[in-house]
Amino acid sequence: METNRKKEVLMMKKSVIALSMLSLLAAGCTSISKADFDALRSDVAAAKQAAQQANMNAQDAKAMSMRTDEKLNRMFRKAQMK
């Protein structure tokens, strides 16, 4: 019986902590100025653009690697034929 009570108290404490954190988060979100929000949007857009560029670079590198692999395979086959 006492163990159940301890579990209930622990769950209530966790709930209170979670609700407190949620209210702090909500208060923090409402206090963000428009300038800060616009700066954040700008940073996100820059990060997105950098990620897209990195993805394009990776695709180019993969294509180059595949072309090189194909050339090496052709050279290897020619060498085996001789």
Q: What is the pLDDT of residues 29-41, one digit of tens each?
A: 666 777 877 888 8
Mean pLDDT of 41-62: 91
Q: How far is Cα of residue 18 from the mean position of the Cα atoms in its chain?
A: 24
- Model confidence at 55: pLDDT above 80: yes
Q: Cα-Cα-Cα-Cα dihedral of 49, 56, 54, 40, to 10°?
A: 10
pLDDT of residue 2: 63
- Model confidence at 57: pLDDT above 90: yes
Q: What is the CA radius of gyration of the chain?
A: 29
Percentage of the chain beyond pLDDT 70 is 93
Phi/psi for 46 (5° steps) reads -65, -40
pLDDT of residue 53: 92
| Structural domain spans, the chain | 1-31, 33-82
